Structure 1
Amino acid sequence: MSCSLIGTCYAGRAVLTVHLLCFFQRFELHIIRLLDFIGLLVLSEMTLFSSLEPPLSSETLEALSNSGFKFCTPVQEKTIPPLCSHRDVIVGAGTGSGKTLAFIVPLVEILRRIQPDNKPNQVLGVVISPTRELSSQIYHVAQPFVSTLKNVKPVLLVGGVDVQTDMQKLEQQGSKILIATPGRLDHIMDRIDGLDFRNLEILILDEADRLLDMGFEKQINSIISRLPKLRRTGLFSATQTEAVQELAKAGLRNPLKVLVEAKLLSGASPSQEFGSSKLPSGLKNEYLLCEADNKPSQLVDLLIKSKYQKIIIYFMTCDCVNYWGLALPQLSLLKNFSLISLHGQMKQIARDKALATFSSLSSGVLLCTDVAARGLDIPGVDFVIQYDPPQDSDVFLHRVGRTARMGRKGSALVFLTPKEEAYVYLQRSRKVPLEARECSDEAPDVIPEIRSAALRDRDVMEKGLKAFVSYIRAYKKHDCNHILSWKKLEIGKLGMGYGLLRLPSMPDVKRRSLSTMGFIPVTNVNLDEIKFWDKSREKQRKQKLQAKLLAQEVEKRERKRKESRKATSGVGRKKPAKKRRAIQSVEEYDELDREYSLIKKLKKGKIDETEFANLTGTLDLMCNL
């Protein structure tokens, strides 16, 4: 009986196990994210917003609750109380630590206490961030909290929008809170005298290190010089550089330094424990060594294996994003993938649309530059792939920080060639450990398909060439050029990796200062005859080509005309008056000498009068007489 009962129990467990496996397979992604969130609550010592001192207002607590925030992250717990207590702060915290709420909540609380009046042009709070996307994100995060204040509304000031529109909006409606990029805010402050900053309560500099790295130091100093000294200032950054420290000395008064390090999840590997304080707690950080001509195949293999994940792929330049954003969808293996491009040279409307679309997806791929590396809180990113290492090695940490945010799990991978392996040790020395990952033997060879796409569409071919050249130029300017040496760049394998039909005519290629080994050009193809797939673009190309040929013909004729004129420059040209008079005088003297000589011959009888008259031209005159 007992055996039968035990058998029944085992059978029941087996059935239950099968049902559970089916359940997990169907809802795997959602369950993993739910477990990550639960792990965050269990593994972290969380503090309730309602328990902070000084206490937050009921309106702010309600807005936090409605937005799904009940517990503070460590950076919020350490930053909100001092900012609300009239202290300046310098905050250093990793990506995904919740820095945005750490300054939005104090800003709203400070303005609530002073009860702003209806003066439209009185500015009470300023938030400055380095990029349009980050400023826009802060603006949207702040909306539900600012809406709880009376007579207060924020205004977003970023590039990509007509500056006259922003000026008219401020002059007519005003704003108590400005959320802006430094260039646009400095421009607005120069052109609008009506904005009143005398009663400014709080200034926030978000991603301060990036503000300085991007060359905004002049604008930041200009803005700070026009603000009152009696204010609260918060300086937030993921890395505390020397430039940030200098800025803090100039703009902050006796600041409180807040440094928040990420905590490891239990069971972390030894490689993670080494210097793990700079990594998000749930991040699996890896590197993949492969030759440049094998990178596209390995990338496609990773995308296929991560089909149902949300992935960000970082490239070195905007041209690289444009090219791969066009080439990857041409591959048959990626036909059903959602591939979205984002970079700084896109129009602002297109950038906003791309970011909003990717954020709304449960799975998809974002191809981007470092414009999406800092501060952006894109929900649910599972995997970050660095196809190219960043020009600025400090950005490496910010890139991988787009995943494993707020205690969730995530993966990151950087592609490196064998000659770039020292980059791993550089990151490890900066307390950013990396684990090795093996190349996949199952990766499909996609280079022939990319080349076929270039033969079909001139746009693919031209964008590939531009991306290739832009990558080489950017590689030269890498801040780790002692490790990522430009002189060791194998452009032959790189060109194959870009699916080029032929290497471009570059000085370094002509001089053979860089290795072209490994490149196999496509033969028996006239590149000038490759057409655009878009008929309108092909028509424009032909018109430009005809105009170019016509211009060359006109130039050739003009050159021949100039050469002909130069050869006959002394013939038939009228001489200056002074020169003409000098020539005339010489001719007259010669004629007089000749006549005098003939008169002597006539007197001596050597010639007769008829001969004299004939030689001097007086014969006709004598006949007439």
Structure 2
Amino acid sequence: MDDTWDCLTLSSACQNAIKDLKFSKMTPVQAACIPLFLQNKDVAAEAVTGSGKTLAFLIPIIDRLQKREETWKKHEIGAIILTPTRELAIQIEEVLQTFLKYLPHFNSLIFIGGTSVQADVEKFYKNGGHIIVATPGRLEDILNRKNSLINMANCVKSLEVFVMDEADRLLEIGFEATLNTILSYLPKQRRTGLFSATQTNEVENLIRAGMRNPVRISVKEKQKAANVIQKIPSTLTIHYMICDHDEKLDQLVQFLRDHKNQKVMIFFSTCVSVDYFSAALAQILKKHSISAIHGKMRKKRNKIFSEFRKKNKGFHWVLQYDPPSSSSAFVHRSGRTARIGNTGNCIVFLAPSEDAYVQFIAMNQKVPMHKYPKAVIEASVLPKLKLISQKDRAVFEKSMRAFVSFVQFYAKHECSMIFRLKDLDFGCLATGFGLLKIPHMPELKKKQITNFTPVDIDVNSIPYREKSREKLRQQKIFDGIVDEKKKYKPKVVAWSKNKNKKESKKKRKENKKLGQKRKIDEMSAEDFADLKNLDDDYRLLKKQKKGKISNEEFDKQFTGSVEEM
């Protein structure tokens, strides 16, 4: 396959934009998808994260919109690009602007959270938008809204191209119903492109529902040494570090000190953990520039992300402080570095009881991982973290909420066969979070907590560092609005309510079992066999770990099971 741009008949605008972007030749996914898109085919492409998918759909969009004989009206939407996150939408819009600066008669708009829906509609009414880059929830709101200014549903009737980028992530984070609503507004006579890093049953259902006889493309990369197909770029190396929960923060801080001139992205399990650890790191690493961003932020989120992107180009390292709840999210997060031929590295921190995750990812996602050595820590930062909490109530409260949210995250982890709550050392975890005391929570009921020493202070006396906030707190205590002594005690619920709650929980559990049974009944024989093989592989891993079988016996049985799959 010819991977030079000369093999395509592109407009001067596209040629100039490609020169500006400094892409000398096409990536495999671009070489496979662009010619088909230009031939008016629907395309369903599976390619590793960071393989250059953006140009694979932007160039055909520009080409198709330029070729229409009728002049595009101000409020006619010719193309929609749907992405799972605001950050990805912003990145796509930036690349799109490189093309549109050579096409002044075309307009684009970005529809994402952070502003009101009405503000987006007004912006569209004033400026128009032939190409829309949007997140699903915002686009659904705009299409559903009956607006006095303009009927947005009418504006998509001339749509030429609809693209779903990172479709597996769109479905994974619960946008299936939203996508169906959006598709109901779009004309049937359109070209559709679906791009994903992983192929799931949900993606397959979306292909059948939203595309007409698509050409399926699967662009894989081979690991040269073992000739194994993998789902990450060949320029990306994924590491894992085995360390106890009370060592993680020290290892993270030391890593950041050792890589202070490099751009690093750190993923935590919950929004509250992002708030807490970013506040803590900002005080521990005062010479570092630290930005925090998560899904519950509104206006600040877009601004912070834009500022972060301006600092340097590309991420040198991605650190996954906690293993994400799904294996596909692990691949997507890792792929934030090593994009379009650039080298990159990722580290995931694992506790000793979680080491089977390495083999799980290797089997489930075909992603090899390499052990990363722990750094020698001369002085722990945990005592300093406790002092920070003692001086600022805001940090203390964040630490408590972060701990609770992590335990809840752990309890609901998709890979529950590895991340088991009963294996979690709560005392060691609390120490690693720099807690002054352990909060009351149902998961800790009747648990014997070891490896934790509470600080001998009255936590109710800890003030807010912000004087105005502390003054308000003291006033509320004086007025009897807040009783600090009761703030961290479990709530006593009436017996009748507890009974109703238990009955409701029991019913939900029964419904869940029925749903799981129905899913198994609806499974194809092939799907059921895959599920069984995965379960067998995990049991084999457990036997090897406990010394019940030798390494040679494990290799023999495991290789046999993989060949059968």
Report the TM-score range of the alignment, normalised by the length of the smaller protein.
0.7 to 0.9
Q: Paired residue for 2:133, among 149, 170, 179?
A: 179
Number of the residue aligned with 1:337: 288
- Give 1:320-359 correspondences, 5 Å limit: 320-331=273-284, 334-348=285-299, 350-359=300-309
Matches of 2:61 and 2:442 in 1, distance apart? Answer: 55
Select the structure of larger CA radius of gyration. Answer: 1
Matched, 1:433 2:365: no
Deviations 1:211-241 (A, max 9, x none): 1112211121111122121111000111111
Deviations 1:111-149 (A, max 9, x none): 011145252222211111111121122122111213433
Number of the residue aligned with 2:548: none
Pick closer, same or farther for the CA change 1:409–1:46 going to 2, 3 Å. farther
Matches of 1:205 and 1:463 in 2, distance apart? Answer: 36
8 Å CA contact 1:491–1:516 kept in 2: the answer is yes
Deviations 1:550-576 (A, max 9, x none): 999xxxxxxxxxxxxxxxxxxxxxxxx
Deviations 1:407-430 (A, max 9, x none): 222221111111111111101112
**Higher alpha-carbon deviation: 503-512 or 455-464:** 503-512
DSSP-derived class of the 1:71 partner? coil
Gaps of 5+ in 2: 485-565
Number of the residue aligned with 1:146: 100
Q: What is the letter of the counterpart of residue 447 of structure 1?
A: L
Q: What is the letter of the counterpart of residue 294 of structure 2?
A: H
Matches of 1:328 and 1:149 in 2, distance apart? Answer: 45
Number of the residue aligned with 2:442: 507
Number of the residue aligned with 2:341: 407
Number of the residue aligned with 2:474: 542
Q: Paired residue for 1:96, among 46, 50, 71?
A: 50
Gaps of 5+ in 1: 1-44, 363-378, 553-625
The Cα of 1:65 is off from its aligned counterpart by 0.9
Matched, 1:383 2:383: no
Matched, 1:492 2:424: no
TM-score normalised by structure 1 residue count: 0.73
8 Å CA contact 1:315–1:388 kept in 2: the answer is yes
The Cα of 1:247 is off from its aligned counterpart by 0.7
Matches of 1:319 and 1:187 in 2, distance apart? Answer: 27
The Cα of 1:477 is off from its aligned counterpart by 1.3
Q: What is the letter of the counterpart of residue 340 of structure 1?
A: S
Matched, 1:50 2:50: no
Matched, 1:299 2:299: no
**Higher alpha-carbon deviation: 487-496 or 64-73:** 64-73
Q: What is the letter of the counterpart of residue 490 of structure 1?
A: D
Number of the residue aligned with 2:189: 230
Pick closer, same or farther for the CA change 1:550–1:251 going to 2, 3 Å. closer
Deviations 1:431-469 (A, max 9, x none): 111122232233531111111111111111111001101
Matches of 2:257 and 2:2 in 1, distance apart? Answer: 38
Matched, 1:284 2:237: yes
The Cα of 1:197 is off from its aligned counterpart by 2.6
Pick closer, same or farther for the CA change 1:78–1:70 going to 2, 3 Å. same
Pick closer, same or farther for the CA change 1:501–1:152 going to 2, 3 Å. same
Pick closer, same or farther for the CA change 1:533–1:46 going to 2, 3 Å. farther
Deviations 1:528-562 (A, max 9, x none): 1111111111111111222226999xxxxxxxxxx
8 Å CA contact 1:46–1:73 kept in 2: the answer is no
Matched, 1:396 2:347: no
> In angstroms, what is the RMSD of aligned CA positions?
2.0
DSSP-derived class of the 1:459 partner? helix
Q: Paired residue for 1:464, among 399, 416, 431?
A: 399
Pick closer, same or farther for the CA change 1:149–1:521 going to 2, 3 Å. same
Number of the residue aligned with 1:213: 172
8 Å CA contact 1:116–1:152 kept in 2: the answer is no
Number of the residue aligned with 2:75: 121
8 Å CA contact 1:147–1:153 kept in 2: the answer is no
The Cα of 1:479 is off from its aligned counterpart by 0.4
DSSP-derived class of the 2:246 partner? helix
8 Å CA contact 1:274–1:433 kept in 2: the answer is no
Matches of 2:426 and 2:400 in 1, distance apart? Answer: 12
Matches of 1:315 and 1:196 in 2, distance apart? Answer: 40
Pick closer, same or farther for the CA change 1:506–1:182 going to 2, 3 Å. same
DSSP-derived class of the 2:297 partner? coil
- Give 1:545-556 correspondences, 5 Å limit: 545-548=477-480
8 Å CA contact 1:116–1:151 kept in 2: the answer is no
- Give 1:151-166 correspondences, 5 Å limit: 151-166=105-120
Q: Paired residue for 1:483, among 411, 418, 437?
A: 418
Q: What is the letter of the counterpart of residue 296 of structure 2?
A: Q
Number of the residue aligned with 2:487: none
Q: What is the letter of the counterpart of residue 422 of structure 2?
A: K
